């Protein structure tokens, strides 16, 4: 059974204080690893898809990386508007379509 | 830009009543998914359609739940005889299978259900 574990559960940063979120996963075969951002009371907003170990993707202050066992979401010089829950999900080659999510990391960025 | 839309956004019902939610996917997306999310948890897969065919259902989907996607366009999720444990955010997502990026699922705003 696919498993996704995210850490830390919650993270509080000051504006400009860079950090990383971790997503560890177990799948029989990785079809894709996905990062989403979710604001309170809203649906997840797509950020990145990673397909193979060594792949990296960037968007503004966010950079996602992938190894064979985990993914990191690096946040450089965060701003208060980056405050949200960041969700990691995997898609298994065996189960084809469904996403298996972690419980997320709640990020709060303060002035 | 017409993203995934869901209606209603909020629903309050009494235990034992039936409820129906609607999802309109991104135009021309051929796959449509339903997930359920409770507080502090990530979304959990319920079921998905490719065009009008329902291809997979989770063990979470009890026989009180039924989903349809007539004509391969919008989808409805019905919950019969609601229970308090059904209270959750119901999320719909869509994707375009065939592209590598088509494996990416785009989510709607969700329908928050509260069963009293």
* pLDDT confidence bin for A96, thresholds 50/70/90: low
User: What SS3 state is found at B110?
Assistant: coil
**For residue range B3-21, what is the model confidence (pLDDT) as tens digits?**
999 999 999 999 999 999 9
A44–B107 CB contact, under 8 Å: yes
CA distance A9 to chain B (A): 10
Which pLDDT score is estimated for B28?
86
- Would an 8 Å CB–CB cutoff place B96 in contact with chain A? no
Min Cα distance A104 → chain B (Å) is 6
The pLDDT value given to residue B72: 85
Closest A-chain CA to B110: A43
**Tokens matching residue B45:** 């897969």
For A25-52, the pLDDT digits (tens) are 999 999 999 999 999 999 999 999 999 9
pLDDT at A22 over 90: yes
A33 CB burial (10 A radius; 0-12, 13-18, 19+) = buried
Tokens 């604001």, residue located:
A39
More confident residue, A86 or B99: A86
């Amino acid at each position: 059974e696919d498993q996704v574990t995210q850490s830390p559960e919650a993270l509080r940063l000051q504006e400009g204080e860079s950090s990383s979120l971790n997503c560890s996963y177990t799948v029989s075969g990785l079809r894709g690893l996905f990062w989403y951002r979710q604001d309170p009371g809203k649906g997840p907003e797509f950020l990145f898809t990673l397909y193979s170990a060594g792949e990296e993707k960037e968007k503004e202050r966010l950079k996602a990386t992938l190894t064979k066992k985990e993914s990191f979401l690096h946040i450089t010089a965060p701003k208060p508007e980056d405050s949200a829950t960041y969700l990691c999900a995997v898609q298994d080659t065996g189960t084809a379509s469904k996403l298996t999510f972690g419980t997320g990391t709640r990020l709060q960025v303060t002035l | 830009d017409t993203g995934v839309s869901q209606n209603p956004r909020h629903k309050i019902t009494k235990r034992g009543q039936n409820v129906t939610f609607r999802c309109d996917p991104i135009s021309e997306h051929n796959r449509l998914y339903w997930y359920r999310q409770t507080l502090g948890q990530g979304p959990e897969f319920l079921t998905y359609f490719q065009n009008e065919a329902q291809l997979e259902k989770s063990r979470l989907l009890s026989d009180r739940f039924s989903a349809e996607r007539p004509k391969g366009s919008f989808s409805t999720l019905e919950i019969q005889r609601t229970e308090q444990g059904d209270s959750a955010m119901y999320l719909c997502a869509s994707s375009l299978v065939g592209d590598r990026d088509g494996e990416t699922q785009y989510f709607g705003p969700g329908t928050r259900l509260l069963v009293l």
